[in-house]
Every structure is written in structure tokens, then in C-alpha cells.
Amino acid sequence: MQNFSEFERRIGITFSDTSLLKKALTHSSYVNEHPRQHLEHNERLEFLGDAVLELVVTAYLFSEYPQKPEGELTSFRAALVNANTLGHLADGLHMDKYLLLSHGAKKDPVRARLFILANAFEALVGAIYLDRGYESAANFIKTHLLPYMEEVLAHRLWQDAKSLFQERAQEHVNITPTYEVIHEEGPDHEKHFVVGVFLEDERIAQGEGPSKQEAQQQAAAHALEIKGWTHI
């Protein structure tokens, strides 16, 4: 059995039931590649962790920003719990080093791997909740995720990236951005899209995701950074 004690030390949590941690770090592709090991993948834990994340973040935002309306709080929450944020947090915790993936999944593009890491982060939260209870899961989220709220506010990451990029493009160069699918792959139930964002004929950036809409948002977010239009 893989030794996850180093990862436990990294996150500051020791599991009573280490099988929960292993399950959180087991991707479905690994289970399919190793059927004789009779492992469970992390998708059910991901489902649970997503709910715990949403509750903790919602309670935090409700308490910290009493003057903000519901719509703005919803945007704040979306910026905190989206795949891009969670994937980068998981990467910062070096979850990639401990994640059980198939050989094929290990060769996926960086952006696709980021989604896998984001899902694993949610599964980890679910595993902590089951093993240590709500308070431990909430403390983990408060330690690793909630400090990112400063960056969300500083760079207006809570605002819809497509809308903000269109606003900035029209303001600075008087051009309305367009989006084009550069590449798509995978079966209908598991598509992966690569989308480019253009100002007239110039491709400014590209993004990836499981839907065209999410890939467009990623492309717009990258374009804002490239153009230096993230600040007010």
C-alpha cells in the first residue's frame, strides 16, 4: 500500500482511516487500469467535498462581507471554488506526487491535469470531513483556500472573465473579442475543449475545459493577464 504519511505531514492532518486518504487520491483512470486491485475511485468523495467546501466558503463570505448582496457573494464563492483555483491549490500541496493515475492520464495536457487535481482537492476535503469531522475540514479550507480571497478582490477575479475582457477590450482598443474552438477531443460524455480568444485576427490567449463555456472563461482570464487588464 502506498505510504501517504509524507502527504499527511504536508497538510498537517493525520488520518485515522488512511484508506479514506488513498481513496481521495485515486482517480477513476487508475481504477480502470488496475481492476485486480479492487480499488474505489474518488468521485463520491469529490461529491461530498464539494458540498463541504460550498458550505464553509458560503458561511465565511456571509460573515466577512455583511454589506455585500447575494449576487456578489455568489460571484466571490465561484471565484474561490472553481477548478482553476482548486487545481492550483492542489498543485501547491504537491498532490500530483501522490495522486494515483493511469499511465494515459499522466500524459494529459497540463490544463486537463489541473481539473483532475481540483477534483482530488474536493475529494480530500470529503475524506477529511468523514475521518476528522466538520471542524477539521473547515480548518483545512480556512488555512489553504480562504486566504486566496485577497487575490480575488485585488484582481477582480470574482467578475466573469468573459464580461470583464469584453469590457476592457472595448475600452482600450474598441474591439469586441471573439472565441473559436481550436481543438476538441474525447467522447460526448467526457469532452475536452481548447478555445482561443481573438481581437480581430490576433489570437490573444487560449483556454481549456470540459465545456466550451469553461474554456472560453479560461481563455478570457489568460487574455486579461496577458494584456495587463486585470487591475481596475
CA distance 9 to 129: 17
What are 1's three cell numbers? 500500500
Q: Do residues 215 and 196 make contact, with C-beta atoms less than 8 angstroms apart?
A: no
Supply the Cα-derived Rg of the chain in whole angstroms.
Answer: 19
* Residue of 50, 131, 208, 214 with catalytic role: 50
CA distance 203 to 224: 13
Q: Do residues 30 and 101 make contact, with C-beta atoms less than 8 angstroms apart?
A: yes
Cβ-proximal residues to 62 (8 Å cutoff; 6+ apart), any chain: 73
* Residue of 6, 8, 122, 160 with catalytic role: 122
The reply to whether 50 belongs to the active site is yes
CA distance 8 to 124: 11
Chain centroid offset of residue 66 CA: 26
Choose among 164, 144, 145, 146: nearest CA to 155.
Answer: 164
> Active-site residues: which are they?
50, 122
